[in-house]
Every structure is written in C-alpha cells, then in structure tokens.
Structure 1
C-alpha cells in the first residue's frame, strides 16, 4: 500500500500495521452546520436495518430472531442534518441485548447523542408460536409479524405493540342463503395496543384468534381439517363482527389504554377485500345506547 505525495509526485511507502494519521478534526462536520430555513423536521433517521434481537417468549422464556429497525429523531430547525451513522452505532453497541425492556435506554441514548428532543424506534420481527392441531394434537410453528413502536419525548414515554394475526372467516350471509355450504377466506387482523401494564404478545394473538371463525395452524391432518372446517361453519362472522368482538374484549381488559383493530377479508368470491377498522382511546367514554 502506498500514499501518493501530490507535491513531489513520489510515493511514500506505508505498511499495513502503521496507524493512519488522526485527521478527524480536520474534516468538516457538514451535518452539524447551522440551517437558516427555520424549519424543524419531525422524523429523520434510518429505515429497514436488520439486527439480531432477543424477545420474550411466554412458554420458553425468550427466543432469538432477526428484526428490522426504523430509528428516527426530531431534528431542531437550527441543525442542517443528523448523524446517520450514530443510529447504527447505538444498535451495534447493544448487540443482541435489544428487547422491549431495553427500548427506553436505546431511545434515551438516541435522543442524547443526536441532541434531539424526541426519539422514535420501531422494531419488526417474526414471533414463532408452537401450536397443537385441534383434533390430533400434532404440533407445528406459526409465525406472527410483531412490531414495537417506541416513542420518547421530554414529557412522555410509551410503547405500542402491533401484531398481525392471520385467521379464517366464514360469511354469515353466504351460510344463510346457501344449501350446500358457505364461502370462507383467510383474513388478516392487525391489532395495536398501548397498555399501562405488561402484556404478552401471545395473549393478544390468542384474543384475536378466539374471535375469528377459526384460527390457522401450520400442520393439519384429516381429522384436524374436518374440525377447522366445521368450526368455521358453526362460527360465521362478518368482518364487522370480528373487529367489534375483539374491541369488546379489549374494553374489558383494564391493562389496555388505547387500541386499534383492523380486519381485512381476502374474499374468495370477489376480486376485492372486505375491511373494517376501529380505533379508540379508552379515556374517552363509549357512546350511550
């Protein structure tokens, strides 16, 4: 390896073991320059970076998985830019110790190191749950996409838990007018909650599955297929029924402060989906009947 001396056009040898000169102080910090437009940016940072994480597992204690991160801070109006590399440095410093329990520490470090008033962190990962088939008991893994949304400001800290749960829905109208069966389809339920106490993600998954026509399984034998088909037929639900029944359960859970629940039915007899959504802050009273 050689460094060219531009004054003499000669080459000065540099060995691989030799330290490069410390010239960081000579390199301008463009991001740190002042900005005169007087416009703050609500969120600036990095998106879609993958990192190994540990997540709490209700049955096994914990499980290791890979998460995708979005990390942002609020940029004050007088800064030209933020230091993007510091987001990655913070994640790497925590290595595999990232979990929902460490979210606040990471957010505080982001806010302090980037001189911001607010910090936001999103972590999306697959959660694997072992399920037993309903008739034969055959076990198989189901995966559910989970996202933790963390937010830290000078006067507030909170985490919203989001989970996507695939289920089966069977149409009550089709059942009531058909002689030979009813159309059913796979549905996706998106549930978000903000809680004041600890809530297992698995509890949220089971809540959603219990309010569908039937839940899904990784492996089903013929007796299991018979069970889930008949279970759905005996438990028909419109997309409106699912979101209302889930909301009713969340209303009765004192840990839940705020929630949103949306259900999308990927219709088997239409070229479109059916959709319903509810969002509610439980601090606000329900409408009177």
Structure 2
C-alpha cells in the first residue's frame, strides 16, 4: 500500500447538517498558573474542548484538538500565565487558528482548589476546598473568557426561624416577661431555624476580562450565604458558625441577591456586556427536595437593578 492515508473526516457526510459543538470531554491535565501574588497555583484540571462543524464536513480532527490542548497546557507551565482563564483563552485561540473550517472554538475547565485559611475563633490553620470554573470562547475577532468558583457554606431558613421566634415570644409572655425585654431578648438571641448546606456558583464572563480576581469571586460567593463553613472546627468555631448563621438567616433567593450586590460593589469597572452567572442550591435538612435559585444577567442590567 502506498500514498497518504485517506482523511475520512474531511469528506462530506450523508446528512448535511452542521453541528454546534464537536470535541472531547474528560481531558485531565495538571496546570500551573503563576498567580499575580507570586504564589503559583497547581491544579488538577478537567477540560472540555469543542469546535463547531460545518454541514459539509463529516467530522472534526480529534487528534488535532488533543495536540492543541497539550501544546497550550505545556505553554501555560513554561510561560508566565497569571490567570486561570488565560489557559482556556489561549487554547481556544489556537483551536480557531488550527481549524480552517470552524468559526467558533470553546474550551472549559474545572479544577479542585485547596485554599489555606484560618478558623474564625480558635485561629487554627486549615484548608478550604472549592471548584474553580474557567472557560473561553473564541470567534473571529473576539475571545470571551469566564472565571468563577463553586463554593459551599451554610444557610438558615428565615421562615423556620420566624416560627421559633413566635413560640419563644409566647413562652416569655406566659412567664409574664414584659414586651420590651422580650423584644431585646429576641434581637440579641436569634432563635433556631433549620439549616442547610449551601452551594453557591458565581462566574464572570467578559471580553478581555479586566481585573477580575478569583479570590474576590470566592469571597463574594461564600459571604452571600448565612455563614462560612470550615474544614476544621473546634467548639468555639462551631459556636461562631452557628451564631453567625442564625444571625443572618437567608432564603435561597436571598443568597443569589447577596451575590448580585457583592458583584456590583466589587466589580463596578466591568463593562455593561459582561455576563454574570449566579446560582444557589441548598441541601434541605427537613425536606427530601432541595432549593435552587439562579440569575444569568449582563452587568449593565444588574448594575441598574441593584443601584
């Protein structure tokens, strides 16, 4: 047998229908990002890589996609890449340039990130685990990148807490406690409510991604819930978390709105066409179902609503 092997993927398909995304998923790579603070991030990341496919072409070149990903991640290790999303942006640009038949390339990744921190009361060193989300979409003349995080925290149901406060008021009234003292007591001692493990997702997508720091995104998402949680907790830390959560009871909807307020305050410099994705899911403790709320909105609209 002589000559070049046939390029079957470049032939015409039997059904001439174009496809929005063709590519590979579940690509695991170790990525090193040289953060602007001088401390590098070492991430075990999982990538998804897609290009669009015109109706006249049978298939995408999967081996070429994998080659581009390998080249890009090696470049991210060797070069001074300061932002996680730049890895995806570089890969998307390379995909677009290497595939003459495609008009859009998308690269997304998720990675587990372990962040050192200190417990709130005992001041013990501990670690907090979260998921980093990054992606990029490259088209002719523009590459939009996205950076964000999925974090966990604690919420307390305001409705449940309100019923407990009503019971406490009735009990104190039966004990002939005066109304002013009852009001002072309930203000200083938040009543019990059923709690949930909360999962917050916050991402920011923009062209060029001007000055959006991952740690600020993490902080906004964590603080949007009733209280932060910690991997290590001594008894004073447990008391701190319980008291803090019950002092700031929030519905799932409240958490999304708190994220919105934090984004507008922290990222006032973002352009109006930046896309903000905010999601909150709570694992209910007294129901078999869970609660969920979300909002995807352009920054200009969100800024107007919040302000």
Pick the TM interval, shorter chain.
0.7 to 0.9
Runs of 4+, deviation exceeding 6 Å = none
Shift of 1:67: 0.6
2:91 is aligned to 106
Say if 2:21 and 2:52, in contact at 8 Å, map to a contact too.
yes
Compute the RMSD of aligned alpha carbons: 2.2
1:197 is aligned to 210
2:278 is aligned to 261
Tell me whether 1:185 sits opposite 2:196 in the alignment: yes
Unaligned runs of 5+ in 2: 77-83, 169-190
Shift of 1:155: 3.2
CA 1:134–1:170: 2 relative to 1, 3 Å? same
The structure that is strand-richer by fraction is 1
Matches within 5 A, 1:194-233: 194-195=205-206, 196-233=209-246
Say if 1:52 and 1:96, in contact at 8 Å, map to a contact too.
no
**TM-score w.r.t. length of structure 1:** 0.85
2:183 is aligned to none
2:126 is aligned to 140
Q: Determine which of 130, 138, 163 is the counterpart of 2:116.
A: 130
Shift of 1:165: 1.0
2:179 is aligned to none
Shift of 1:132: 0.4
Say if 1:260 and 1:278, in contact at 8 Å, map to a contact too.
yes
After superposition, give the CA deviation of every residue in 1:162-215 in whole Å (9 maximum; x if it has no partner).
Answer: 311101001111112114621111110111212441212111111122221101
The 2-side partners of 1:288 and 1:133 are apart by 32
2:32 is aligned to 54
The 1-side partners of 2:250 and 2:137 are apart by 36
Say if 2:50 and 2:105, in contact at 8 Å, map to a contact too.
yes
Say if 1:214 and 1:228, in contact at 8 Å, map to a contact too.
yes
Give 1 or 2 for the bigger CA radius of gyration: 1
SS where residue 128 of structure 2 aligns? strand
Shift of 1:56: 4.8
**TM-score w.r.t. length of structure 2:** 0.80
Shift of 1:88: 1.3
After superposition, give the CA deviation of every residue in 1:94-133 in whole Å (9 maximum; x if it has no partner).
Answer: 3444343243332222122222211100111012211100
Q: Which of structures 1 and 2 has the larger relative contact order (alpha carbons within 8 angstroms, sep 6+)?
A: 2
Q: How many residues align?
A: 267
Say if 1:129 and 1:143, in contact at 8 Å, map to a contact too.
yes
Unaligned runs of 5+ in 1: 1-20
2:17 is aligned to 39
